[in-house]
Amino acid sequence: MEYLWKEEIENKHADSLRLKTLVDKGGAKKIVSDHLTRQMKLLREEEGKASVVAVAKIFQYLVTPSGSKIAYPLKDLIEPTGWSEDKLRKLLEKLASGKLRLLRRVSKSSEVDSERYEIFHDVLAQPILDWRKKYFLDEEIYKRNLAIKQGLPAQSVRQRKIGQDEQAALLARQAYLFNERDRCKVLDQVDEALREALSISYFSNILRGHEFGNLGISAVAFNPKNPQMLASADYNG
């Protein structure tokens, strides 16, 4: 409702909620699904990926596969998440308050340790099931892609050993780019692959025209008509 009111205010219809606005935004299911996605993104930004992983596990116990909600005891969520009781309570309270408001705390006075949590509204059930399915699918794809990226340095070295120098160089370069972008945690292997590639004579060379002084080379220019020719300059000119 708050989301729809904001839309109406932006469209200068602050005195009423129009059916057209609801339809234009894809209906109630789409609005709730988008809300859930935004809140999970916000949670990740504020609390980190580990919190989103924990929530994905928690949702399994709060919503049945058929879409029914369950009020689940906090203590029974400790083992599946691997979190301490205090840490888990803080996360659940965050999800039950403020902008997130995906859960609510319930209790049964007839039970000892009756601290339980359930999803805030039944309408969240199906979007949660859909989000959780997509989340684990994305995680599986990410892990597979990461394994491929982490394997590139070793593939590069193998290609170098069997004389496939160009493939080795291309794989080493791609491994370096992936590691820089995605932090694949294979820096040592990337370094080894690059060293192997650069040891190939036609991929690297040493400029020996500046043997005096410690200033080093300041610029290099290639001849566009003959890539095997270049000119270099040091800081003395």
Question: Residue 63 belongs to a domain with what CATH number?
Answer: 1.10.10.10
Domain-terminating residue out of 123, 157, 181: 123
Domain-terminating residue out of 94, 123, 152: 123
pLDDT of residue 4: 43
Domain-terminating residue out of 123, 147, 168: 123
**pLDDT digit string, tens, across residues 73-96:** 999 999 999 999 999 999 999 999
Domain housing 69: 2-123
Same-domain check for residues 169 and 155: yes
Question: Which pairs from 8-13 meet CB under 8 Å and 24+ separation?
Answer: none
Same-domain check for residues 217 and 173: no
pLDDT of residue 47: 93
pLDDT of residue 5: 38
Same-domain check for residues 212 and 175: no
Same-domain check for residues 135 and 193: yes
- Token digits of residue 51: 């919190």
- In this structure, what are the phi and psi dihedrals at residue 103, rounded to the nearest 5 degrees? -125, 170
Task: For residue 37, give every residue at least 6 positions away whose Cβ sits within 8 Å of its Cβ, in sequence order, or none.
Answer: 131
Residue 184 is given by DSSP the state -
Q: CA 52 to CA 38: how far, in whole Å?
A: 12
Question: Which pairs from 219-223 meet CB under 8 Å and 24+ separation?
Answer: none
Same-domain check for residues 136 and 175: yes
Of 132, 131, 133, 102, residue with least CA distance to 118: 102
Same-domain check for residues 73 and 40: yes
**pLDDT digit string, tens, across residues 174-186:** 888 888 887 777 7
Q: CA 129 to CA 63: how far, in whole Å?
A: 7
Same-domain check for residues 91 and 30: yes
Instruction: Count how many domains the chain has.
Output: 3
CA 216 to chain CA mean position, Å = 41
Among 10-24, 65-79, 108-122, 161-175, whose mean pLDDT is lowest? 10-24
